[in-house]
Structure 1
């Protein structure tokens, strides 16, 4: 069986955001119910460029897969390249055949945006005002996914330490530029920065604000002050990953927050195993390999159905 190769454009074409939202929600539910398997994420630091590679394997439904993803924050400045570059291998668990090799930068953008919107669907109490702290490429997919879930009737407030980035995003979104405090005083707040110092303070939030904390994905990163965590019910995508590299990792390291303080996982809420908390809620997102497998499977199936992508005999067993 040939291996299907999909580039960025083809992945985006074969994975509409609505499909990504459905796939990610299914993956969260399956993981909570023990119907998917996912070994720990492996980090390979590249300290000379302040970057790293991450290997993310998982099995979900009829597929297994591995994402090889980088986080090289100097890339845009030094090389004119994206900070995140990734590839994904989708395999058949029964035969081990490589079914597809695809750009996973687009895949990651789609499934990360979808994860935030799925969290908002299950944890937010309202969505009239949605704020963004950090207005880069990922903010656009988070916005698109929220429009899939909630429609486009909400107000968008944009803040970025780079005013030009906030203005560009606000213009595209049909929203408006706001101060950090104003962008935080919303129904749903999406934080999407690589910060290592807290940005959002509890005093800026509404009593019912739901936060999608998307930026912390490595040890030492954090976007929320400790008083924010302590004032909210915190749900994670995976406890081990969150404690190691999620929004709670620094407070855990410092001994002021422990695993028992977590309210549960998003998957448990979706599966009806854990109730949504009253008052403020936080989704601490580190990104799960099962999300990638679920999304990649959707892209592969659509590409196969529509005859898209390049079919290559990687094994070439005649040689």
Structure 2
């Protein structure tokens, strides 16, 4: 008789961590594969759905919940969705993280759920990994100085990923409008990258001085970085919002994204604002990172190029990492099996 009971594996955040999600090299390997599959047309990425309530004009305070579905093909062959809340006032009001997420995986053949797991750490790690993969192809191999604009949670995984991609990074500059955040960030960062000198900077131009790599992850609604502060040969990753004045992008020899259409559709980062204002045409766009990974477009071609990278973040990134965690959980016998039904109510 056919087994008709449907079970799925529930994984707590600790289960997900125990299955290796904080191994940045592993996550970067999965994200690089995802970018390659995306370029080959082997993924499906519907539009992100953003749920907002309260004052929609002050999202930096009220936050949102995003639904990010997708399918990853190839030998991954799994569907899923990330349901992630971002409530910026949580740390201040509740002493709780800004972001919380659940990731659901579904069997691609039957549609039945395979797993429900904490997606919070996966989300942070894959976002950092996207910059790390780009840095592998677009930053100078001998890069030594990393500049971080923003001292929030996200820049921890950005820092981990850049250091993984560029082991020669030995100096890290950190700038934020809150020096208290900078101090707290550096205390934790010294545990994460103990072989690098990390210093607090009181201004953005001080932080950018001598930088080989610049990563910004803030909620800024007006530019922080000016073109005259950006030196030749730098790799820039715009992770957060509107963090660079238009002239920074104009100064770049290459403009690269994870997904051009997604960046423009979201409309809040520097490149998108330039396009929407008629200040940047797609002819200036070099390519998506997947095209570079697959050898269709050139990576860095000389040490003097300024390369501007903009990642929007895609739910399929969470799905490919979550599938690896699910497979490891089965091997390691982590998590708890829960029953959806013993017998279907309707067939």
Which TM-score band applies after superposition, normalised by the shorter structure?
A: over 0.9
* Corresponding position: 1:298 with 2:324: yes
Q: Does 1:223 align with 2:228?
A: no
Q: CA deviation at 1:184?
A: 1.9
CA RMSD after TM alignment: 1.8
Structure 2 Cα separation of the partners of residues 303 and 240 of structure 1? 35
Deviation at 1:309, TM superposition (A): 1.1
Q: Is 1:198 aligned to residue 219 of structure 2?
A: no
Does residue 69 of the first structure (1) align with residue 84 of the second (2)?
yes
Match of 1:280 in 2: 306
> CA offsets per residue over residues 157-211 of structure 1, 9 Å max, x none?
1111111222232343341112311322311111010111001111111111111
Distance in 1 separating the partners of 2:88 and 2:185:
20
Q: Is the 8 A contact 1:67 1:87 kept in 2?
A: yes
Instruction: Give yes or no for contact 1:190–1:211 (8 Å, CA) kept in 2.
Output: yes
Q: Give the 5 Å matches for 1:177-256.
A: 177-178=200-201, 179-185=203-209, 186-216=211-241, 222-232=242-252, 233-245=254-266, 247=269, 248-256=271-279
Separation in structure 2 between the aligned mates of residue 96 and residue 318 of structure 1, nearest angstrom: 14
CA contact 1:189–1:212 (8 Å) conserved in 2: yes
CA distance in 2, matches of 1:315, 1:262: 50
Per-residue deviation, 1:153: 4.5
What secondary structure does 1:99 align onto?
strand
- Does the alignment pair 1:107 with 2:130? no
Alpha-carbon contact 2:146-2:169 (below 8 Å) kept:
no
Partner of 2:107: 92
For 1:120 and 1:23, the matched residues in 2 are separated by 15
> Taking structure 1 as the reference length, what is the TM-score of the superposition?
0.93
Larger Rg: 2
Q: Check if 1:149 corresponds to 2:149.
A: no
Contact 1:4 1:312 (C-alpha < 8 Å) held by counterparts: yes
Segment drifting more, 193-202 vs 47-56? 47-56
Match of residue 6 from structure 1: 11
Question: 2:41 — aligned with what?
Answer: 34
The 10-residue stretch of structure 1 (244-253 or 92-101) with the greater mean CA deviation from structure 2: 244-253
CA distance in structure 1 between the aligned counterparts of 2:165 and 2:300, rounded to whole angstroms: 20
Q: Determine the C-alpha separation between the residues in 2 that align with 1:147 and 1:256.
A: 34
3-state SS of paired residue (1:203)? helix
Partner of 2:70: 58
Matched, 1:270 2:293: yes
CA distance in 1: counterparts of 2:331 and 2:339, whole angstroms: 19
Number of residue-to-residue matches in the alignment = 314
Out of 282-291 and 173-182, give the one that drifted further. Answer: 173-182
Deviations 1:210-231 (A, max 9, x none): 1111113xxxxx1111001111
Structure 1 segment 300-319 matched on structure 2, within 5 A: 300-317=326-343
Q: 2:144·2:168 contact (CA, 8 Å) conserved in 1?
A: no
Q: CA deviation at 1:79?
A: 3.0
How far does residue 36 in structure 1 lie from its aligned partner after superposition? 1.5
Secondary structure of 1:85's counterpart equals: strand
